C-alpha cells in the first residue's frame, strides 16, 4: 500500500505536466499559423488557403461579404494591400482554438471592386482535423474611427 502512495504522485506528474506543455505547444502552433496566414493574405498565396482552410470554411468580412473556401481560392478574390495584426489572443479548447485580434488592413474585393481600410476586430476558429489545424471560420467587424 505504501508503494501505491509513492507511485500515484509520480503518475500524476507524468500525465498532467505533458498536457500543460502540449497546451503551450498548441498556442505556438496557432500563433505560427496565424502569422503565416497574415503573410499569405498580403502575398495572395492561395496554396496556403488550399492547405489550411477547411472544406466547409466560411469567412464573413466587415462589409458583410461571405466567402467559402472555393471563393477564397480564386486568385485575387480578396486582395490585401496591407495586413497588420495587434492584440492577438489565443484560447484553446481541446481540438479547437479561437483567435481574436485587432487587425489593421487595406482590402479590395474582386466581386465588386470595393475597397475598405481601417481597424477590424477579428475572430478566427481553428479546428484540429485529420491530424492538422484547419481554419473553419472567420469574422471581421470594423472598429469605428475615434471621434475627435
Q: For residue 54, what are the domain limits? A: 2-142
CA R_g for the chain: 20
Q: Report if residue 106 sits inside a domain.
A: yes
Total domains present in the chain: 1
Question: Phi and psi of 24, rounded to 5°?
Answer: -60, -40
Q: Report if residue 147 sits inside a domain.
A: no
Q: Domain holding 18: CATH number?
A: 3.10.450.50
| Cα atoms in the 13 Å half-sphere on the side-chain side of 55 | 2
In this prediction, residues 92-112 reach a mean pLDDT of: 89
Grid cell in block for residue 63: 462589409
Closest by CA to 48, choosing from 36, 58, 59, 60, is: 36
As a whole number of angstroms, the longest Cα–Cα distance in the chain is 74
Q: Report if residue 15 sits inside a domain.
A: yes
Using pLDDT thresholds of 50, 70 and 90, give the confidence band for residue 2.
low
pTM of the model: 0.78
Examine the pLDDT at 108 and tell me if it is beyond 90. no
pLDDT tens by residue, 118-147: 999 999 999 999 889 999 999 999 998 876
Q: Report if residue 148 sits inside a domain.
A: no
How do the residues of the chain divide into helix, strand and coil, expressed in percent and rounded to 5? 35, 45, 20
Identify the weakest region by mean pLDDT among 6-10, 27-31, 72-76: 6-10
pLDDT tens by residue, 44-76: 888 999 999 999 999 998 888 898 999 888 877
Closest by CA to 72, choosing from 48, 100, 96, is: 48
Question: What is the structure's pLDDT at 16?
Answer: 41
Amino acid at each position: 500500500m505504501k508503494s501505491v502512495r509513492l507511485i500515484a504522485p509520480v503518475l500524476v506528474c507524468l500525465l498532467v505536466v505533458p498536457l500543460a506543455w502540449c497546451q503551450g505547444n498548441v498556442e505556438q502552433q496557432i500563433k505560427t499559423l496565424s502569422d503565416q496566414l497574415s503573410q499569405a493574405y498580403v502575398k495572395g498565396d492561395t496554396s496556403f488557403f488550399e492547405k489550411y482552410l477547411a472544406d466547409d470554411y466560411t469567412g464573413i468580412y466587415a462589409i458583410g461579404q461571405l466567402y467559402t473556401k472555393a471563393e477564397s481560392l480564386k486568385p485575387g478574390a480578396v486582395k490585401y494591400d496591407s495586413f497588420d495584426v495587434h492584440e492577438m489572443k489565443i484560447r484553446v479548447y481541446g481540438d479547437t482554438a479561437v483567435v481574436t485580434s485587432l487587425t489593421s488592413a487595406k482590402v479590395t474585393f474582386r466581386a465588386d471592386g470595393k475597397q475598405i481600410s481601417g481597424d477590424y476586430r477579428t475572430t478566427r476558429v481553428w479546428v484540429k482535423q485529420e491530424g492538422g489545424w484547419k481554419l473553419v471560420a472567420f469574422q471581421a467587424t470594423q472598429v469605428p474611427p475615434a471621434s475627435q
